[in-house]
Each structure stands twice: as structure tokens, then as C-alpha cells.
Amino acid sequence: IGGHFVWSAEEPRHPLLLVGGGSGIVPLMCILRHRKLSGSPVRAALLYSVRTREDVIYHNELTDMARNDPRLTLRITLTRNVEPGWSGGIGRIDLPAVQALLKDLGVADSFVCGSADFVEAASALLLQAGQPFDEIRTERFGPTRTSRVHGGADERSAQSASGGSE
């Protein structure tokens, strides 16, 4: 888990699984746009979790991409304020949602991006679903909860971690 948060359309090894929370969609969208512009035939799935419908970043572009690309699966889940008529997922990303996508994709080049807590939880779900450890790339933002004893004092370490620092 970790590694460089880079996907190459020229050398894809597996289908692509993108898992994002909130604004973690931004780097994942770059990957989807690169895939589209390169004409890559690689199958891809995006599992995207946000609080409310209004929090869905790139909603129109994502739905257009999914509608026009039969090799792209889009799953958006809302964790709060689900309005009547919402046809996407409800609640946090869970093991059955991850398993359903991996059942279709098989082993995938997986990219997870979001808050530190989101990335830890989503990565754990990928591992539980059988995704190999070394196929998961992460990008996170915000503090992580780690304690270190340094010189006899308990020191809280809040770091902004990126894919290579995990």
C-alpha cells in the first residue's frame, strides 16, 4: 500500500479501480481524463463516496463519461441527506460494494484517495476483498493519528501523507 500515485495508459497491467472520498476525487479524475484522452481500452471502475448530492464534484462530467464508455463503471454513494429519487449507493463504502466491483474487474490497479481515515478504511476493505497489497496506491490528506515516544515525551505526529510516504 502506498507507492507512486501514477497510472500509465501506455503500460496498464490490470483493470483500473479508483476509490475516492470527497475531494479525493480530484487526482482520480485526472487519471480518468488521461484514460479517456489516451483512448485506453482498460476497464475501469470508480467508487466515490460523498456526504450529499451537492458534494459530488464533477457530477456531470462523471455521468457523461460513464454513459459514453461501456468500459467504465461509476458508483457514487451518499453518506448523509439522501434525497428521494437518489439512485446511487447509500451509506459508507462497504465490503460488498468493493467485492462487487472486484468480482467484475479481478485484480486491479487500485488508487485510493481521500482523508487519512477514509484511505485507511478503504484500503482495508480492498485487502479484505482479496486485492493484493502491492496493487494498492494511496494518496491522503489531513492529519494521521500516530503517537511516537521521542526523548521520553509522548509526541503527537500530524503529517500530510502522500502515496510514497506510507
Instruction: Report the pLDDT value the prediction gives residue 164, as an integer from 0 to 100.
Output: 43
Grid coordinates belonging to 39: 483512448
Confidence label for 121 from pLDDT (cuts 50, 70 and 90) = very high
Residue 29 pLDDT class (50, 70, 90 cuts): very high
Beta-carbon contacts of residue 133 (< 8 Å; ≥ 6 apart): 1, 127
- Report the pLDDT value the prediction gives residue 92, as an integer from 0 to 100: 92
**How many residues make up the chain in this entry?**
166
Q: Which of 1-5, 78-82, 122-126, 148-152 has the lowest mean pLDDT?
A: 148-152
Number of other residues whose CB lies within 10 A of the CB of residue 161: 18
Collapsing DSSP to helix, strand or coil, 59 comes out as helix
| Contact call for residues 155 and 149 (beta carbons, < 8 A) | yes
Give the amino acid at 35: R
Could you tell me the pLDDT band of residue 9, with boundaries at 50, 70 and 90? confident
Q: What is the pLDDT of residue 149?
A: 46
> For residue 111, which of 12, 36, 10 has the smallest C-alpha distance?
12
pLDDT computed for residue 160 by the predictor: 33
Q: Are strands 72-78 and 109-115 parallel, antiparallel or unpaired?
A: unpaired
pTM score of the predicted model: 0.82
Distances (CA, A) of 50 to 1, 21, 44, 81, 100: 23, 6, 20, 11, 19
Predicted local confidence at residue 165, as pLDDT: 40
pLDDT tens track for 122-152: 999 999 999 999 899 999 888 766 544 444 4
The CATH class of the 16-165 domain is alpha beta
pLDDT at 53 over 50: yes
